[in-house]
């Protein structure tokens, strides 16, 4: 046996040990005639339910408005202006818009350079790319020096059916580890519109999750305004306290209404700023009465708002009778249509209502 | 110091400046007993020409808006930059004794949050040129005619973001960027070309839209000519000066050491090193 053959034998042995995952999708079977097979929505999917009020491009419009009085604000993106609503700003102020190409690492570094020169860059890409690919560049280029860069990202959590490459289910877990970074997870169009000037007024780096396109409008029906670093009680209820962020606040408000039929009274505390966390408001609400406490978020169970709240409660010795999380599993999620996936992973209003009833 | 010292009467020569930079570096190395001394000795001539021929700055006001920006992308070359910042009067000479000690403004890896005259926190390698792109764009927004110099090592040519930034600077025709690449051919794991071959360098940069020059980075007159050419160029292109340098230049017995990336220098050898440097000093 010559050397080449011995090598080949060993190679086969190695190959036979190589793990090969089973194919993930199901083969087509008999279709339920009452249930149409939904198609995957692309990046333009709206979270709005049928007939729900929406507002177009709240991020882009708010940034254009702010740009009128803040000439130092510039927009920068990595080939995703259209899909982050930054194109609205680009159209209004073409000379203040920087198309940096599909180079996210450079995007963050160039934003750092702009901030060094006194400008306030609003930087956009998708949440998966900002968190996974550019962490070091935000950390060492921007945050360590406290530079004034606002990283605003579309497709946070499970807001696309494209599959794990685009589903940023762990972006908050990743970014919570970065010192001095403010993290914002707004609920709806009103929240986004008010958060834009608020994060611009804050001196330091910010990561904000975005919804783009036709964004649901919900919070205008509540006595609410966005304040950076503040949690707000949107409705009170004696049986259940839901602490939520992002669009899961919208879902929690829907759940509260659904459960009224069962005479279950649900309070909703909206926490749009994940870091720094409004610990005082959370401790006050949880400590006020003994209620089932649920944290609802568009994020993995690992390292997001749920664990941030749990840590806060335990450290303070304020322990609710029961604590539950409505959140995405710690897993690479399926591809498919968003409504299907939200049902499957328990973050649609109906699925969440079922969970809450089961916990009562 | 706004005026360039080479035009001032009685100013020390650039060779004398480079000698003093090396001397400062050796004294700091002695404080720590170790360090990236070979790189500092190798790049001293590039730094001397930068700070005493090319750069516009005010020693008493390191954040002066009218300064040329000088980015140290290679954080571990901090010992070299401190040496030139001391010689330039931006850092007091007595702080040299604190290098790398607790609560010093001169930590072993360069950080903007610690040190006057340090523009960025380098160290996570390959980030300087990208920041230079943003500064270059920002300076143009402000209609400033100042330059951004980015000093990087040949090891940083391994890093992807370097080439994202190189492509971007070419795309935006950032003629206010001058990138200095210190090619000493030695990385942590051994000779650079064995770690990851980066040649042919001038052709690579030119293909990315840059004006490229390659010089002996220990030849001061050649460096002066290259800096002058880079600054005077009328083409709307970013400029790179690839500087081939010799590790530990100026101290022959250290030049001869093989493992020069993180040079071990015995306690008694620091004095010998300074004596060897003095022996080669041009008067």
- The CATH number assigned to the domain holding B46 equals 3.40.50.970
Average pLDDT estimate for B39-51: 97
Domain residue limits, chain A: 54-216, 229-359
> What mean pLDDT is predicted for residues B226-233?
98
Residue B144 belongs to some domain of the structure: yes
Judge whether residue A1 has pLDDT over 90. Answer: no
Q: Would you say residue B15 lies in a domain?
A: yes
Q: What pLDDT score does B6 carry?
A: 47
A109 touches chain B (CB under 8 A): yes
pLDDT class of A32 with cuts at 50, 70, 90: confident
Q: Is B215 on the interface with A (CB under 8 A)?
A: no
- Average pLDDT taken over every residue of chain A: 93
Question: Which residues in chain B are contacts of A101 at CB distance < 8 A?
Answer: 164, 167-168, 171
Range of the domain at B35: 8-279
Task: Give the model's pLDDT for residue B1.
Answer: 46
Give the model's pLDDT for residue A35.
72
Mean pLDDT of A102-107: 98
**CA nearest A102 in B: which residue?**
B164
Interchain CB distance below 8 Å, B137 and A113 = yes
The residues, any chain, with a CB within 8 Å of residue A289's CB and separated by 6 or more, are: A238
Please compute the mean of the pLDDT values over residues B65-69 and round it to a whole number: 98
pLDDT higher than threshold 50 for residue B5: no
The model's pLDDT over B139-198, given as tens digits with 9 standing for 90+, comes to 999 999 999 999 999 999 999 999 999 999 999 999 999 999 999 999 888 898 899 999
Q: Is A111 on the interface with B (CB under 8 A)?
A: yes
As beta bridge partners, residue A208 has: A152, A184
Strands ordered across the beta sheet of A232-235: A232-235, A266-270, A240-244, A292-300, A322-328
Which member of A109, A114, A117 has the closest CB to residue B161? Answer: A109
**What ipTM was reported for this prediction?**
0.95
| Alpha carbon separation from B95 to A173, B33, B86 (Å, rounded) | 41, 16, 9
Residue numbers in A near B150 (CB within 8 A): none
How far away is chain B from the Cα of A120, in angstroms, using its nearest Cα?
Answer: 11
CATH of the structural domain A54-216, one choice from 1.20.140.10, 3.40.50.2300, 3.40.50.970, 3.40.50.1370: 3.40.50.970
B35 domain residue, yes or no: yes
Sign of CA dihedral A277, A169, A325, A314: negative
Would B49 be classed as within a structural domain? yes
Kindly determine whether residue A101 and residue B134, on different chains, have CB atoms separated by under 8 Å.
no
The pLDDT of residue A8 is 55
Shortest distance, CA A267 to any CA of chain B (angstroms): 44
Percent of chain A at pLDDT > 90 equals 85
pLDDT for B117:
96
Higher pLDDT, A62 or A44: A62
Residue of A333, A360, A339 lying closest to A351 (CA atoms): A339
What is the DSSP code (8-state) at residue A85? T
Residue B80 lies in a domain: yes
- Model pLDDT for residues B89-133, shown as the tens digit of each residue: 999 999 999 999 999 999 999 999 999 999 999 999 999 999 999
pLDDT of residue A179: 98
Whether residue B168 and residue A101 make contact (CB cut-off 8 A), yes or no, is yes
Q: What is the mean pLDDT of residues A243-264?
A: 98
CA angle A131, A133, A136 (to 5 degrees): 80
Q: What is the pLDDT of residues A167-205, one digit of tens each?
A: 999 999 999 999 999 999 999 999 999 999 999 999 999
pLDDT score for A128: 98
Domain tally, chain B: 1
B73-94 burial, b at 16+ Cβ within 10 Å, e below that, comes to bbbbbbbbbbbbbbbbebbeee
Position A18 scores a pLDDT of: 60
From chain A, the residues in CB contact with B120 under 8 A are 112, 116, 141, 145
Weakest-pLDDT range from B1-5, B176-180, B199-203: B1-5
Instruction: Tell me the C-alpha distance between A154 and A58, whole Å.
Output: 12
Mean pLDDT value of segment B35-53:
96
Substitution target from A117, A121, A137, A178 for chain B, most B beta carbons within 10 A:
A117
Residue A36's pLDDT band, with cuts at 50, 70 and 90, is confident
Maximum Cα–Cα distance for chain A, whole Å? 82
**B132 reaches A (C-beta below 8 A):** yes
Q: Is residue B200 a part of any domain in this protein?
A: yes
- CA A299, chain centre distance (Å): 7
Q: What is the pLDDT of residue A12?
A: 60
The shortest C-alpha distance from B246 to chain A (Å) reads: 30
CB contact under 8 A, B141 and A117: yes
Q: Tell me what the mean pLDDT of segment B199-224 comes to.
A: 98
Interface test with B, best of A74, A94, A110, A114 (most B CBs within 10 A): A110
Residue of B nearest to A101 (CA): B168
Per-residue pLDDT at A37:
74
A115–chain B Cβ distance below 8 A for any pair = yes
Q: Does B123 touch chain A (CB under 8 A)?
A: yes
Given an 8 Å threshold on Cβ–Cβ distance, is B161 in contact with A112? no
Is A113 within 8 Å of B113 when comparing Cβ atoms? no
B171 chain-A contacts, CB cut-off 8 A: 101
Q: Kindly state the tokens that stand for A158.
A: 């499970």
Confidence of residue A74 (pLDDT cuts 50, 70, 90): very high
Indicate which of B68, B70, B112, B134 best probes the interface with A, i.e. most A CBs within 10 Å of its own CB: B134
Instruction: Answer whether residue B1 is part of any domain.
Output: no
Q: Burial level of B121, CB count in 10 A (0-12/13-18/19+)?
A: buried
The predicted pLDDT at position A19 comes to 62
What pLDDT score was predicted for residue A51? 86
User: Per-residue pLDDT averaged across A81-85, rounded?
Assistant: 96
User: How many Å apart are CA B124 and CA B77, to the nearest integer?
Assistant: 12
Give the model confidence (pLDDT) of A200-226 as tens digits: 999 999 999 999 999 999 999 999 999
Instruction: Spell out the CATH class of A229-359.
Output: alpha beta
Nearest CA in chain B to A134: B161
């Amino acid at each position: 046996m010559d050397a080449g053959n011995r090598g080949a034998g060993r190679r086969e042995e190695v190959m036979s040990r190589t793990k090969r995952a089973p194919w993930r999708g199901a083969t087509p079977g008999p279709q339920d005639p009452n249930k149409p097979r939904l198609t995957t929505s692309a990046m333009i999917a709206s979270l709005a339910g049928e007939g729900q009020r929406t507002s177009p491009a709240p991020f882009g419009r708010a940034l254009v408005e702010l740009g009128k009085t803040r000439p130092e604000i510039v927009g920068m993106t990595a080939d995703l202006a259209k899909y982050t609503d930054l194109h609205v700003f680009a159209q209004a102020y073409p000379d203040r818009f920087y198309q940096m190409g599909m180079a996210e690492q450079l995007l963050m570094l160039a934003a750092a350079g702009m901030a060094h020169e006194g400008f306030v860059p609003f930087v956009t890409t998708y949440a998966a790319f900002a968190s996974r690919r550019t962490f070091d560049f935000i950390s060492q280029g921007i945050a360590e020096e406290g530079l004034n860069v606002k990283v605003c990202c579309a497709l946070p959590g499970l807001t696309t059916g494209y599959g794990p490459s685009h589903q940023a289910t762990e972006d908050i877990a990743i970014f919570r580890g970065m010192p001095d970074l403010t993290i914002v997870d707004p609920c709806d169009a009103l929240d986004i519109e008010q958060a834009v000037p608020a994060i611009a007024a804050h001196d330091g780096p910010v990561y904000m999750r975005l919804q783009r396109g036709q964004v649901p409008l919900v919070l205008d029906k509540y006595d609410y305004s966005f304040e950076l670093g503040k949690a707000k009680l949107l409705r009170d209820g004696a049986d259940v306290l839901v602490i939520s962020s992002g669009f899961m606040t919208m879902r929690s408000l829907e759940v509260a209404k659904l459960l009224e039929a069962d005479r279950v009274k649900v309070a909703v505390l909206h926490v749009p700023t994940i870091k720094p966390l409004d610990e005082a408001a959370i401790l006050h609400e949880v400590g006020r009465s003994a209620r089932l406490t649920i944290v609802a978020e568009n994020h993995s169970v690992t390292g997001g708002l749920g664990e941030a709240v749990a840590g806060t409660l335990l450290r303070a010795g304020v322990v609710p009778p029961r604590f539950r999380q409505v959140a995405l599993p710690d897993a690479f999620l399926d591809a498919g249509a968003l409504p299907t996936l939200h049902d499957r992973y328990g973050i649609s209003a109906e699925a969440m209502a079922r969970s809450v009833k089961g916990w009562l | 110091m706004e005026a360039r010292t080479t035009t001032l009467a009685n100013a020390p020569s650039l060779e004398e400046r480079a000698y003093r930079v090396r001397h400062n570096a050796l004294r700091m190395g002695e404080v720590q007993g170790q360090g990236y001394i070979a790189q500092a000795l190798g790049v001293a001539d590039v730094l001397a020409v930068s700070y005493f021929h090319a750069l516009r700055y005010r020693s008493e006001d390191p954040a002066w808006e009218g300064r040329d920006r000088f980015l140290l992308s290679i954080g571990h070359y901090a010992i070299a930059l401190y040496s030139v910042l001391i010689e330039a009067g931006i850092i007091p000479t007595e702080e040299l004794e604190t290098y790398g000690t607790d609560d010093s403004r001169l930590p072993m890896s360069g950080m903007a949050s610690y040190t006057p005259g340090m523009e960025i926190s380098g160290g996570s390698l390959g980030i300087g040129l990208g920041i230079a792109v943003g500064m270059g764009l920002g300076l143009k927004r402000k209609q400033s005619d100042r330059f951004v110099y980015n000093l990087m090592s040949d090891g940083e040519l391994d890093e992807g973001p370097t080439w994202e930034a190189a492509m971007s600077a070419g795309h935006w025709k950032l003629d206010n960027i001058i990138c200095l690449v210190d090619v000493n051919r030695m990385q942590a794991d051994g000779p650079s070309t064995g770690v990851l071959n980066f040649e042919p360098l001038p052709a690579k940069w030119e293909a990315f839209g840059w004006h490229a020059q390659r010089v002996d980075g220990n030849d001061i007159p050649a460096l002066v000519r290259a800096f002058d050419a880079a600054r005077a160029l009328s083409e709307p292109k970013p400029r790179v000066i690839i500087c081939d340098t010799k590790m530990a230049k100026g101290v022959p017995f250290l030049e001869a050491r093989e493992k020069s990336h993180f040079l071990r220098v015995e306690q008694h050898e620091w004095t010998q090193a300074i004596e060897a440097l003095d022996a080669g000093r041009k008067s």
